[in-house]
Chain A
């Protein structure tokens, strides 16, 4: 379970996130939506522990900054950054050791194969394209064997095959009871995945639905109904 309680973040005098609270239960996929500058990245970075903030973030009822919480938390940032002198395989090996995740060599092989990285496992970090970096970043997050997984714009830079694979992985993890939070602008890509939708605007939650509450309404229509962006676009 991922819980965010009264999260507030200021950059100087600028209030980026204003008392935001939400929770994603076990085995559910939450999607965090909102226009540019809504505060999504700030929330994501706060959950990942990269920012100072007021309020609380809980991972499986543990404070997010605790080592126990970090052990079961996987994160795919918006901009992947590789260790220049480590190969793809060594990135995964680093994760296995850092998290003591128990992922086996066979599982690593399968993961790399699944994301078409098996023939690139000896490539160094500085030899990878942006798409490949994104794939390595996803594989590393999965190598943690997380109970809570957070993905920030995970489909950007991925080829169609990798997007398809990622969607399947998300659904498999969901079946296994993993909590997932995805922040994205690509509404079409997550329309089959989500259980909880959180729509943000100007640092606040504008609306939050479960799939049942939305009654199968189209994700785009729902989003534009809340943010008003679609209507303006139509008028234009």
Chain B
């Protein structure tokens, strides 16, 4: 115990010491304060405009929060993914002579601290937004901090420390929680769709006595009703049941025998999280698969070239082993977007846009490419392999062959997003082809400018800093291309404007790729 207290103390002190020396901490703080103030004012306006600034309506909001958070917590703890242990904790803490339950409680400190922040936020927002009494809010704050924390701690010990109940029990519990959340949300959506899209419908629904009698979750909601609406038979019974069950769970958790069998799952999850952290640190993106190994098909490829070309053929082999080949979520999203644009072309008044209708699809794709961060690609993995640097070929060729498949993917995605709309908008084939080329250019621009930001310019910045730099560079390229398009349109006409836009975008992208090729010169760029 003494060791754990020391560990947390020193960790916090050292982190603060390190943070105060970094200018980015202050920039981040300003950003956070600005964000909180914006959120505060915008929500206050929304609540006032919707005329729901009463304590009764706050109970509805609290009910929504409880109905989503409590079952989600049970799900994550049942899967033994709710607590994040680091490999260092596996190394040093699991071995130490400390009760495994105490280790769980120390790991839960982050959640409990989160509860404290949520409690403070509810206290402030309850008074400012919903005009609840200070006494009421104080009472709820105390209840929230004491009993919610006891409940969460008990759930943690029950889910992690339980060595008698079979794994199947927790799988079943997870499924039950998912079904519960789906049913509650489903009824809410049904009522909103069949009655009217108003907050009062949700309030009526969540005020129903039956909701307050749902074990644990509903009883928790009953406490909020008792404090803010006043006593009635249902919320008094619900509150009594909640307090009794929470204390009962605490008793069971204390009595439960726990020798530390959860260490195996915690270690496995810690390793997975560490791997994901490294991915985020290196690439800024991460896959969300946990615990399941990816399955591959058997495939073969004929290498039709040497040196840097080998990178392309190796990637092709990897993609052929994928069950979905080069297609993924992005392809699907492009198909959906294409269909939606196509349907809009059928049903909407496209002719109202006049000759500007040709810019609808380019506008949508430019916005999507600019805003979304993109999907994980194979090129960034190339930088992790020493062989990439050792291959005797020029760095520009290595960049090209590492990213060639991404251009093919962009071509297919571009066709999917463009063709349905091109048909229903009755756009000329030349413009349709130019739109696909523009999509390819935009994707290539994002790819190479991302590479530039990741490995050349922003190697000392975090993933957020790198994303901002990438967006800044992309923005500049887009503005230049649009100016070229405008000049081309005024002087020569629509097709020429479109063509100039693509030409400028391609040139700027190539310039970005040429600079980004530096990252393929030496591995140091990655660190």
A contacts, CB < 8 Å to B: 48-52, 65, 67-68, 70-71, 73, 75, 77, 79-87, 90-91, 93-95, 97-100, 124-125, 137, 140
Q: Tell me the smallest distance from the CB of B290 to a CB of chain A, in Å.
A: 16
Q: How long is the Cα–Cα vector from A100 to B3 in the complex, in angstroms? A: 8
Question: Complex: how many Å from CA A87 to CA B97?
Answer: 22
CB of A94 within 8 A of CB of B3, answer yes
What per-residue 1/0 map shows which CB atoms of B59-100 lie under 8 Å from chain A? Answer: 000000000000000000000000000111011111111110
| CB-CB under 8 A for A94 and B87, given A51-B264, A67-B97, A71-B97 | no
CB-based contact A65/B88 at 8 Å: no
Instruction: Please tell me if the beta carbons of B10 and A86 are within 8 angstroms of each other in the complex.
Output: yes
Q: Is the CB of B97 within 8 A of A94?
A: no
Q: Provide the residues of chain B in CB contact with A137, threshold 8 Å.
A: 91
Q: Are A49 and B260 in contact (CB under 8 A)?
A: yes
With CB as the reference atom, state the residue of chain B lying closest to A71: B97
Q: Which residue of A lies closest to B5 (CB)?
A: A97
A97 and B264 within 8 A (CB): no
Kindly report which residue of chain B lies nearest to residue A69, judged by CB atoms. B97
Residues of B within 8 A of A52 (CB): 261, 264
Q: How far is the CA of A95 from the CA of B260 in the complex (A)?
A: 19
Q: Given B14, B86, B88, B92, which contacts A95 in the complex, CB threshold below 8 Å?
A: B92
Give Cα A99–Cα B415 distance, bound, in whole angstroms: 64
Q: Considering residues B95, B264, B267, which has the most beta carbons from chain A within 10 angstroms of its beta carbon?
A: B95
Q: Name B's A-contacting residues (CB within 8 A).
A: 2-4, 6-7, 10-11, 14-15, 18, 86-88, 90-99, 259-261, 263-264, 267
Sort A-B residue pairs by CB-CB distance and give the 6 closest, nearest first.
A98-B3, A81-B87, A70-B97, A98-B96, A97-B3, A85-B14
Could you tell me if A50 and B14 are in contact, using CB atoms closer than 8 angstroms?
Answer: no
Contact yes or no, A81 B86, CB < 8 A: yes
Supposing A50-B267, A82-B88 touch, asked if A65 and B259 sit within 8 A by C-beta, the answer is yes
Q: Which residues of A are found within 8 Å of B4, using beta-carbon distances?
A: 98
Q: How far is the CB of A176 from chain B (nearest CB, A)?
A: 20
Given contacts A65-B259, A94-B3, A98-B2, contact A50 B88 (CB under 8 A): no
Q: Within 8 Å CB of A83, what residues of B?
A: 7, 11, 86, 88, 92
What is the total of A-B residue contacts with beta carbons within 8 Å?
88
Nearest Cβ in chain B — how far from A78, in angstroms? 10
Interface centre among A49, A124, A140 (most CB of B within 10 A): A49
> Do residues A84 and B10 form an inter-chain contact, with CB atoms below 8 A?
no
**Shortest Cβ gap from A43 to chain B (Å):** 14
Distance of B433 from chain A, by nearest CB (Å): 51
Known: A93-B6, A94-B6. A125 touches B95 (CB 8 A): no
Q: Are A140 and B11 in contact (CB under 8 A)?
A: no
Distance of A113 from chain B, by nearest CB (Å): 22
CB distance from A34 to the nearest CB of B (A): 21
> Which of B99, B259, B267 has the most chain A CB atoms inside 10 A of its CB?
B259
Kindly list chain A residues whose C-beta atoms are within 8 Å of the C-beta of B11: 83, 85-86
B10:A99 contact, CB within 8 angstroms: no
**A86-B13 Cα distance, complex, nearest whole Å:** 10
Q: Which residues of B contact A65 (CB under 8 A)?
A: 259-260
Query: Which residues of A have CB within 8 Å of B93?
Result: 98
Cα–Cα, bound, A84→B274 (Å)? 13
Report chain A residues within 8 Å CB of B14: 85-87, 90, 124
8 A-B interface contacts by CB (under 8 A): A49-B260, A52-B261, A67-B99, A73-B95, A83-B7, A94-B3, A98-B4, A99-B3
Cα distance A201–B99 in the bound complex, in angstroms: 35
Give the complex CA separation of A65 and B263 in angstroms. 11
Q: How far is the CB of B102 from chain A (nearest CB, A)?
A: 10
Closest Cβ–Cβ distance, residue A125 to chain B (whole Å): 7
In the complex, residue of chain B having the shortest beta-carbon distance to the beta carbon of A67: B97
Least distance between B160 CB and chain A CB atoms (Å): 13
Nearest-Cβ distance from residue B243 to partner chain A, whole angstroms:
33
In this complex, what residue of A is CB-closest to B258? Answer: A65
Other A-B contacts than A49-B260, A91-B92, 8 sampled, CB-CB below 8 A, are A51-B264, A65-B260, A79-B87, A82-B88, A85-B11, A86-B7, A86-B14, A98-B93
Query: Are the C-beta atoms of B88 and A49 separated by less than 8 Å?
Result: no
In the complex, the answer to whether A49 meets B2 with C-beta atoms within 8 Å is no
- Assembly CA distance A93 to B261 (angstroms): 27
User: How far is B262's CA from A49's CA once the two chains are assembled, in angstroms?
Assistant: 10
Cβ contact of B10, chosen from A48, A71, A90, cutoff 8 A? A90
**Interchain CB contact (< 8 A) of B91 among A81, A98, A100, A124:** A81
B259 contacts A100, CB within 8 Å? Answer: no
A211 to B292, alpha carbons, bound, how many Å? 44
CA distance A87 to B7 in the complex (A): 11
Give Cα A90 to B88, complex, Å: 13
Chain A hits for B91, CB < 8 A: 77, 80-82, 137
Contact among A50, A98, A124 with B264 in the assembled complex (CB-CB below 8 Å)? A50
Chain B residues near A73: list those with CB within 8 A: 95
Chain A min CB distance to B412 (Å): 38
A84 proximity list for chain B (CB < 8 A): 88
Most buried by B among A86, A94, A137: A94
Report whether A70 and B15 are in contact in the complex, using a CB–CB cutoff of 8 Å.
Answer: no
Q: What chain B residues lie within 8 Å of A140 (beta carbons)?
A: 92
Q: In the complex the two chains form, is A100's CB within 8 Å of B264's CB? A: no
Complex: A80 Cα to B91 Cα, angstroms: 7
Q: How many angstroms between the C-alpha atoms of A124 and B4 in the bound complex?
A: 18
Contact A81 B90 (CB under 8 A): yes
Q: How far is the CB of B268 from chain A (nearest CB, A)?
A: 10
Q: For A48, what are the chain B residues with a Cβ–Cβ distance below 8 Å?
A: 94-95
Is the CB–CB distance between A98 and B90 below 8 Å?
no
For A79, list chain B residues within 8 Å (CB). 87
Nearest A residue (CB) for B15: A85
Known: A52-B264, A97-B2. A85 touches B18 (CB 8 A): yes
- Contact partners of A91 in chain B: CB under 8 A: 92
Instruction: Kindly list chain A residues whose C-beta atoms are within 8 Å of the C-beta of B267.
Output: 50
Enumerate chain A residues within 8 angstroms of B99, measured Cβ to Cβ.
Answer: 67
Q: What are the residues of chain B within 8 A of A94 when measuring CB–CB?
A: 3, 6-7, 10, 92
Are B97 and A98 touching (Cβ within 8 A)?
yes
Chain A residue contacts of B10, Cβ below 8 A: 85-86, 90, 93-94
| Residues of chain B with a CB closer than 8 A to A98's CB | 2-4, 6-7, 92-93, 96-98
- Contact partner of B98 among A67, A86, A87, A124, CB < 8 A? A67
The CA of A81 and the CA of B86, in the complex, are separated in Å by 9
